[in-house]
């Protein structure tokens, strides 16, 4: 192994210590740059045809909704929303227009033709009025760049620097809601118990105060409106999860002052935030995938159903663990193996019948006693993102994983064929539990696959560099979890990737 230590100065070690990063972790990152990351060993797609994805009819949806309702008040339920990402990419087309010499283009024409349909229109109009103008007057003068600057820059709404959570997404008759508020409203529909509603947002440090101020406005409003105690928590990404950047020649990339450049480790760093949460059931959903109240019913029903499946699965797992701890019969061991194989989709590529009883029990306990997630999967309609696959593990078993395209070696024809046959994709629709059978919390850091990260080509100040992204939160960070995939309707997936997505009918409150 290469040793990073030989490339560092005393000042570098001081910088590393101040960030709270262990040298062993840093040296491991460095060796990933030098040696590369192993691609995911996919062996098959996960689909309804091979029982890798569970499909629910209306009767089953109703059954699992009732199962969740039966038990939820005995449990601590929480919604977890990654909300630290900036909205910069959402306004990519607008930033490019400001920097261009064009007077108009089809996207800009679309923006101004529909300007009154955006939830932030009233704020923009009020702002323009304060400068003795109006949106209509500026459009009449074809001052398009002028208006866009008031949308994006700090002299105006400053949307280009805000996170998506603070962008107004939806217009109601007498008010407008940010994505942050919509997630709170949605959470109350399926994540509330007799103890109240708990929701946790991961935010960037520079915007934490704005989120907290908005929360203080919304909490009393929703408490009165829903007669529910509202508990909103925030956390930030730990600087100790930042990753090393290197030059194309694998030397530490340095800033102009000579210090080492560290970069945010991506959403995989949020496994640390998730690990610090104490709850029995946690719903996980991205900040930009949320719709107005009138269109929340399908998503709400399926969230409850996914939670019901999680509770039923966990009850089975806990029962089998209890049996394994009390010298089960050969027949019971086989029954448990069949459950692990058929229901948890852990496929064994060895002869289970040939190993000893003790080895069988150890194997089954190891496979059962893990964090659990139930993941919604949407039929693939050309959306980018990871998909559901069976992935071979080091212990000669294959299990269900969410795998990104970048993790797959598509130069191998077998992998390419498997990938192209994938029928579903990951919309980030998870219900998880990190509680053990004895009610202790798992240490989620023990279940990460460090090889499931990404190395990408970036640049800074005109210089090329290689950046390392940690194993994604729902990819490699949850690689060694028990996983159940469930097909959910495409209507539950409504992300806002660009400003123009807000013009889609599902985001228009009509």
Please write the tens of the pLDDT for every residue from 306-359: 999 999 999 999 999 999 999 999 999 999 999 999 999 999 999 999 999 999
Q: What share of the chain is helix, strand, coil (3-state, %, to 5)?
A: 45, 20, 35
pLDDT band at 102 (very low <50, low <70, confident <90, very high): confident
Identify which of 470, 401, 481 has the alpha carbon closest to the alpha carbon of residue 434. Answer: 481
Contact 104, 144 (CB under 8 A): yes
406 has a pLDDT exceeding 90: no
C-alpha distances in angstroms, 91 versus 32, 266, 296, 398, 484?
34, 20, 26, 41, 36
Helices first, then strands: H and E counts in the chain: 15, 20
**What is the per-residue pLDDT for 488?**
98
Lowest mean pLDDT among 99-108, 327-336, 432-441, 484-493: 99-108
In percent, the amount of the chain with pLDDT more than 90 equals 87
Q: Which helix (H) or strand (E) holds 456?
A: strand 454-460
What domains sit in the chain, N to C, each tagged with a CATH number?
A: 37-87+167-507 (3.90.550.10), 89-161 (no CATH)
Q: Where are the beta strands (DSSP E) in 135-242?
A: 168-171, 176-178, 192-193, 196-203, 230-236
Contact 260, 227 (CB under 8 A): no
Rounded mean pLDDT of the chain?
94
Task: Please give the model's pTM, rounded to 2 decimal places.
Answer: 0.95
451 has a pLDDT exceeding 80: yes
**What is the per-residue pLDDT for 461?**
86
2 has a pLDDT exceeding 80: no
**What is the per-residue pLDDT for 239?**
87
**What is the per-residue pLDDT for 127?**
93
1 has a pLDDT exceeding 50: no
**What is the per-residue pLDDT for 153?**
94
**What is the per-residue pLDDT for 70?**
98
463 has a pLDDT exceeding 80: yes
List of residues 6+ apart from 227 with CB closer than 8 A = none
**What is the per-residue pLDDT for 256?**
92
pLDDT in tens, 290-316: 999 999 999 999 999 999 999 999 999
Q: Mean pLDDT across the stretch 416-429?
A: 93
Q: Which residue is it, tokens 């919390």?
A: 441
3 has a pLDDT exceeding 90: no
What distance in Å separates the CA atoms of residue 390 and residue 174, rounded to the nearest whole number? 49
Bridge partners for 394 per DSSP: none
């Amino acid at each position: 192994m290469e040793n990073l230590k030989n490339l560092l100065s005393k000042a570098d070690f001081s910088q590393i210590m101040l960030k709270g990063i262990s040298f062993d972790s840093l040296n491991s990152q460095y060796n990933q740059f030098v040696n590369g990351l192993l691609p995911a060993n996919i062996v098959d797609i996960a689909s309804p045809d091979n029982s890798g994805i569970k499909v629910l009819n209306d009767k089953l949806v109703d059954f699992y909704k009732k199962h969740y309702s039966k038990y939820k008040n005995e449990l601590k339920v929480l919604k977890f929303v990654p909300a630290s990402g900036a909205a910069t990419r959402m306004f990519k087309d607008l930033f490019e227009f400001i920097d261009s010499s064009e007077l108009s283009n089809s996207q800009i024409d679309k923006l101004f033709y529909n300007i009154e349909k955006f939830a932030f229109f009233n704020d923009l109009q009020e702002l323009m009025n304060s400068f003795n103008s109006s949106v209509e007057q500026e459009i009449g003068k074809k001052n398009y760049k002028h208006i866009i600057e008031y949308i994006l820059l700090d002299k105006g709404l400053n949307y280009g620097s805000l996170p998506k959570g603070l962008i107004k997404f939806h217009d109601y008759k007498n008010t407008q809601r940010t994505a942050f508020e919509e997630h709170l409203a949605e959470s109350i529909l399926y994540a509330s118990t007799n103890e109240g509603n708990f929701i946790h947002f991961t935010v960037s440090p520079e915007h934490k105060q704005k989120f907290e101020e908005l929360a203080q406005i919304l909490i009393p409003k929703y408490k009165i409106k829903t007669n529910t105690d509202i508990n909103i928590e925030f956390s930030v990404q730990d600087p100790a999860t930042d990753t090393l950047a290197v030059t194309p020649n694998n030397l530490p990339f340095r800033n102009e002052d000579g210090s080492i450049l560290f970069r945010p480790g991506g959403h995989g760093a949020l496994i640390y935030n998730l690990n610090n949460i104490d709850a029995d059931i946690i719903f996980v959903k991205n900040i930009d995938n949320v719709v107005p109240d009138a269109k929340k019913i399908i998503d709400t029903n399926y969230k409850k159903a996914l939670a019901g499946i999680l509770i039923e699965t966990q009850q089975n797992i806990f029962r089998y663990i209890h049996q394994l701890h009390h010298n089960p019969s050969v027949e019971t061991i086989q029954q448990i193996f069949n459950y692990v194989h058929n229901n948890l989709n852990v496929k064994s590529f060895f002869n289970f019948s040939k190993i000893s009883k003790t080895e069988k029990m150890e194997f089954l306990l190891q496979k059962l006693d893990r964090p659990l997630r139930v993941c919604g999967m949407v039929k693939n309609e050309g959306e980018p993102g990871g998909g559901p696959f069976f992935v071979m593990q080091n212990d000669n078993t294959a299990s269900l994983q969410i795998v990104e395209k970048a993790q797959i070696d598509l130069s191998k024809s077998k992998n390419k064929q498997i990938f192209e046959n994938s029928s579903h994709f990951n919309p980030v629709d998870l219900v998880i539990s990190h509680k053990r059978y004895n009610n202790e919390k798992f240490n989620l850091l023990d279940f990460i696959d460090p090889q499931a990260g990404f190395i990408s080509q970036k640049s800074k100040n005109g210089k090329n560099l290689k950046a390392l992204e940690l194993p994604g939160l729902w990819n490699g960070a949850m690689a060694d979890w028990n996983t159940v995939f469930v097909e959910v309707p495409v209507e539950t997936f409504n992300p806002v990737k660009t400003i123009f997505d807000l013009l889609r009918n599902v985001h228009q409150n009509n």
